[in-house]
Structure 1
Amino acid sequence: MGMERELKFSIDALAAQQLPDHPIIALLAGPPRTWVLDSRYFDTEDGLLAGAGMALRLRQTGQGRVLTIKTSGADALGHARGEWEWAATGSGPESAADMLAPADVQRALRETPLRDLALDLDTLQARLRPVFGTRFERMAWTIDWQGSHMELALDRGACVARRGGATVQTPISEIEIELIDGQWSHCWDLAWALAQDLPLRLSATNKAQRASALLAGERPQAPGEPANLPPDTALPQAAQLWLSTACAQLSVWAERIGTGDEARDVHQFRVAVRRLRTVLRWLQPWAKPRAVRWLEAEWRWAMQLSGLVRDADVGLQVLDDCATRCRFAPEIASSWSASLQAERQRQWGTLRAYLRSPRFGRVLLALGRWSETWSPIASTKASAKLRHLTLGDLARRAIRQDHKHWRKTLAVCRPTLEALASGDSAPLAQPEAMADLHAFRIGSKRLRLSLERLGPALPEAEARRLQALRKTTEALQTLLGNWHDRQRLLGHAQLLQRLPDELAQALATQAQEALQQAWTLVQHHVCA
């Protein structure tokens, strides 16, 4: 068994053209080697290998056919994967039985994780079939960087699959930096040097996953949230899992935003950023302050840019719902809706430009590297015991602090909620009162995220006791979010063009109703 260690990046067509002339390649690399790689991937009809986290590939190279079996990476980014490879003996052009010789399948069952499928040779041989393929040109350079030996490869081509009786394709435009010999950290260093000039976006999607999504008629999917960890999990292990998952999710959602036009992609991108910023806040007491400040500032910027698009998406939905519920004539909202749609397209273009920029590539790269190397440091005010923190320790500390902060924000905005519940709408015109409500909304969101991810690491009795609080903060977040969405929409109306009076009044009424419901919830579940 070998261990493949490589960094993978998405790169646009213009940057791919510029790469061969980059000063690092011109000064440190020899002449490139260029060849075409034609691969087919095999699986059973029910996706047995993919479900087990494996890929079986037969690749045509200049030296002949090579059979490769790979396993999933240890984390969401998949930088280190198990790899078994040898010269294949099969040579048939069409069927799985012809292309995969029994000797190769037998060897795979004997030497690779395929043996864990508990299938004999005849059964596996009969069930394997080609499911999709890739064909691309590879231009590769060998580089010695800081004493380490690595290969830098530029791959351009396409994933190919048969769907609905037709051949479908999706482009491949990637850079891979693979460690041949030396220190893995030097691959990150080389990538960082290239990222100063080129828009490299760290990718969590390999070619097989991209082709599999193509076969299913989908786009690449982001990994889900990690499973709950035991309370005695070392904090560095938990942090590395959270950070690598966030990095992989952000990479996928950024790609989807760049290649599509779905409101859901922007929403999920923001959810991933929000969870990441929560993790950064948890880790801040035990991390290098300068690194955390820089990451927090960069992701706040990403949140602001994506928020402009999200506001427009939500505004259009709220506007449509309001017009439907109140049975307004279509022309009442149509003109303003068109203005908001035009504003959305402008902000969408700005967000896309940012996600394709070297700036975004660098912050994603920094996060990916940090996810591998993070460990708590002992500051001048901390003791050596910080190095032995567990997830349970963090859970108790973070939930206690967020709960305390949440109750403070509730105490500040309580008079406003009480006044609104009694029918007094005057606070809605007071900026300070609105700022207090916004702080309570953010506090509810922060506490819910902490309870959601850290609650299971608390002692069982305490975790059960906090379940009701989690449900309350989730409901409050929804109600306060409804209020916030309508307030933002009314604010947009002042910037773009005046809303019809009937529509503005309906939005204001809905906003006040949401706050009244929030106050009722607070009375029943918090003040009781």
Structure 2
Amino acid sequence: MSHEIELKLALPQRALPALRRHPLIAGAPKLGNAVTLDNTYYDTPDLALKARKVALRIRRQGRLSLQTVKCAAVSSGGLSQRPEWEQAYAEQFDFSAIDAPEVAKLLNRHRDALVPVFTTRFRRETRRHAPRPGLSILLMIDTGEVIVTTAAGELQRTPICELELELEAGRPQDLVELASTLAQDLPLMPADISKAERGYRLFLGTPLSATRAEASAITPGQNVVDAFRTLALSCVRQWQANAAAALAHADPDSIHPDFIHQLRVSQRRLRALLKFFAPALPPGFVGEWNQRLRENAARFGDARDLDVFCTELLDAVTPEGLADVAAFEALLQTAHEMRDAARSHATHNLDMATQGRLLLGFTAALLQLPTGSLAEAADLRTFARLRLDRLRKRARRQFEAAATLVPTRLHALRIGFKQLRYGIEFFAPLFPAKAVDRYLEGMVRAQTLLGFLQDVDTAQARLAQWVQDRPALAPAAAFVLGWHASRYARLRRRVLHDCEPLLWGKKPW
């Protein structure tokens, strides 16, 4: 068994000439001529191998045939490490060399049921980047397609255009550093989805869906910097998955808003993480990436606010009893036009070169973080308790300031609750699960109340601006605000009562 350490980078077809001209690519010696690789992936009719995250491939290159078995691995920023078994193929499967008992047992059990599921065909150009002793990286430019015949007999294809970096000698972070350097000049996007995964998705017709935040995977035995790195890589996976899925749409206006929303969530969580762990991190790293992530989130404007306005506030209104129905229709039209414009602005600002550069730059900086004596000595649970206590004390001050129920003060309290909730989610594995879950349930309820109040306050300001520009909308704007006024007043009276136990009651850490 060998361990394949690689980093995949997607790029648009139009960028291939620039990639081949780049000094780091052009200066790397070629390893033979470009070759065409035909690959057939096998599985059982009910996809038993896929269910166990095992891929079986037969690759034909001229007269040579190779059998390859790979197991899935966690990938972040395009960087993956996975076990691999490769051997000559003599027209029948041979799993005798696989030294992972569970994998061998799975393959042998299903040997007689294996059938072709999909194929990939691509042309590969290979070079070697070896700038110093001890570092050697294969640079492989792959262009071609994944080909699937569906159950209905239809032929489906999806293109392949990627640069694959494979580590021969050196450290995994050397791949990320090289990719980050290339991304300064080229539109390269880290790609965590393998060719096999793309083939299965095409075979099954699985649509892309927005990726939400992962559950925290830190462990009590980690030092503080390693825990930060684990959590940050989780945020990177959410960021990359949503950016890549959105960029997969040929028409930016057809991108579902959930991709952009979850991308922004990843930026908020990363910035919160930087603040939580700031005492254990280099100040320059925290300051630089807090600013760059804030600017990146700002690229996507207020599309989410207008989505919420339309779906949560306008869609809930039934215009029965409104004398000026025409005004309500005009308001709906205005709101939908503004929402569509905001969505279009957000998706058109989703640029492969920018997102790839940021993703790779952050991942490279993350892997380079030093672990100082303070981080080595600090107990992670103690560190977490101190940081969570600090967040709760700040939320208490915000709570006291919000006693006047001024909207801006309530909004500040909402932000404080969100920061505290993120912190508890990040550190959850360190504390009793049931207590954490109960506390988070209360946090979510409080945030929902504060969120509704903020949505109505934001809507009031937005509607006032629209009415100023189009006075004919005034009756409909007043009707919408009046529709929600009773609930707004009721929740506004009780919101502090519901928040108070979370800030002065028993804590789970």
User: For the superposition of Structure 1 and Structure 2, which TM-score range results when normalised by the shorter chain?
Assistant: 0.7 to 0.9
User: Distance in 2 between the 1:113 and 1:330 partners?
Assistant: 69
Aligned to 1:157: 144
User: Distance in 1 between the 2:285 and 2:144 partners?
Assistant: 37
8 Å CA contact 2:36, 2:61 repeated in 1? yes
8 Å CA contact 1:480, 1:515 repeated in 2? no
Aligned to 1:177: 165
User: Distance in 1 between the 2:265 and 2:35 partners?
Assistant: 41
Aligned to 1:23: 23
Q: Write the mapping of 1:173-322 to structure 2, written as runs, cut at 5 A.
A: 173-220=161-208, 222=211, 225-226=214-215, 228-258=217-247, 259=249, 260-318=254-312, 320-322=314-316
Residue type matched to 2:130 in 1? D
User: Distance in 2 between the 1:44 and 1:224 partners?
Assistant: 32
User: Could you say what secondary structure the match of 1:355 adopts?
Assistant: coil
User: Distance in 2 between the 1:17 and 1:331 partners?
Assistant: 56
Offset at residue 170 of structure 1 (A):
2.1
Residue type matched to 1:137 in 2? R
Structure 2 portions without partners, runs of 5+: none
Offset at residue 512 of structure 1 (A):
7.0
The alignment status of 1:481 with 2:467, answered yes or no, reads no
Offset at residue 201 of structure 1 (A):
1.4
Aligned to 1:407: 396
Offset at residue 48 of structure 1 (A):
2.7
Change over 3 Å in CA distance of 1:478–1:524 after alignment to 2? closer
Offset at residue 32 of structure 1 (A):
7.7
User: Distance in 2 between the 1:406 and 1:82 partners?
Assistant: 47
The alignment status of 1:131 with 2:112, answered yes or no, reads no
Aligned to 1:443: 416
User: Distance in 1 between the 2:312 and 2:376 partners?
Assistant: 48
8 Å CA contact 2:215, 2:425 repeated in 1? no
User: Distance in 2 between the 1:392 and 1:136 partners?
Assistant: 50
User: Distance in 1 between the 2:199 and 2:178 partners?
Assistant: 28
Residue type matched to 1:508 in 2? L
Offset at residue 331 of structure 1 (A):
4.4
User: Could you say what secondary structure the match of 1:81 adopts?
Assistant: strand
User: Distance in 1 between the 2:47 and 2:316 partners?
Assistant: 45
8 Å CA contact 2:456, 2:488 repeated in 1? no
8 Å CA contact 1:8, 1:177 repeated in 2? yes
User: Could you say what secondary structure the match of 2:316 adopts?
Assistant: helix
Offset at residue 365 of structure 1 (A):
0.5
1:385-429 per-position Cα deviation (integer Å, ceiling 9, x unaligned) = 43233432232122111111111111111111xxxxxxxxxxxxx
User: Distance in 2 between the 1:40 and 1:223 partners?
Assistant: 32
User: Distance in 2 between the 1:143 and 1:445 partners?
Assistant: 45
8 Å CA contact 1:223, 1:248 repeated in 2? no
User: Distance in 1 between the 2:35 and 2:492 partners?
Assistant: 63
8 Å CA contact 1:68, 1:84 repeated in 2? yes
8 Å CA contact 2:401, 2:409 repeated in 1? yes
Aligned residue among 439, 442, 449 for 1:472: 442
Aligned to 2:70: 70
8 Å CA contact 2:223, 2:375 repeated in 1? no
Number of residue pairs matched?
A: 488
User: Which moves more between the two structures, 265-274 or 292-301?
Assistant: 265-274
RMSD across aligned C-alpha pairs, in angstroms? 3.0
User: Distance in 2 between the 1:265 and 1:214 partners?
Assistant: 20
Offset at residue 249 of structure 1 (A):
1.6
User: Could you say what secondary structure the match of 2:221 adopts?
Assistant: coil
User: Which moves more between the two structures, 159-168 or 74-83?
Assistant: 74-83
Change over 3 Å in CA distance of 1:507–1:399 after alignment to 2? farther
Aligned residue among 351, 359, 363 for 1:356: 351
Please report the TM-score for the alignment, with normalisation by the length of structure 2: 0.86
User: Distance in 1 between the 2:221 and 2:374 partners?
Assistant: 15
Aligned to 2:129: 143
User: Distance in 2 between the 1:78 and 1:400 partners?
Assistant: 35
8 Å CA contact 2:319, 2:328 repeated in 1? no
User: Which moves more between the two structures, 11-20 or 192-201?
Assistant: 11-20
Aligned to 1:381: none
User: Distance in 2 between the 1:33 and 1:353 partners?
Assistant: 39
Change over 3 Å in CA distance of 1:204–1:325 after alignment to 2? farther
1:343-370 per-position Cα deviation (integer Å, ceiling 9, x unaligned) = 4444444433443243322210023234
User: Which moves more between the two structures, 478-487 or 223-232?
Assistant: 223-232
User: Distance in 2 between the 1:405 and 1:443 partners?
Assistant: 7
Aligned to 1:97: none
User: Distance in 2 between the 1:49 and 1:216 partners?
Assistant: 14
Identity of aligned residues (%): 25
The alignment status of 1:393 with 2:382, answered yes or no, reads yes
8 Å CA contact 2:98, 2:104 repeated in 1? no
User: Distance in 2 between the 1:391 and 1:161 partners?
Assistant: 48
Offset at residue 191 of structure 1 (A):
1.4
Structure 1 portions without partners, runs of 5+: 91-100, 378-383, 417-432
User: Distance in 2 between the 1:385 and 1:87 partners?
Assistant: 51
User: Could you say what secondary structure the match of 2:45 adopts?
Assistant: coil
User: Could you say what secondary structure the match of 1:232 adopts?
Assistant: coil
Change over 3 Å in CA distance of 1:160–1:226 after alignment to 2? farther
Residue type matched to 1:303 in 2? A
Aligned to 1:526: 500
User: Distance in 2 between the 1:28 and 1:334 partners?
Assistant: 63
Aligned to 2:38: 38
User: Could you say what secondary structure the match of 1:508 adopts?
Assistant: helix
Residue type matched to 2:440 in 1? R
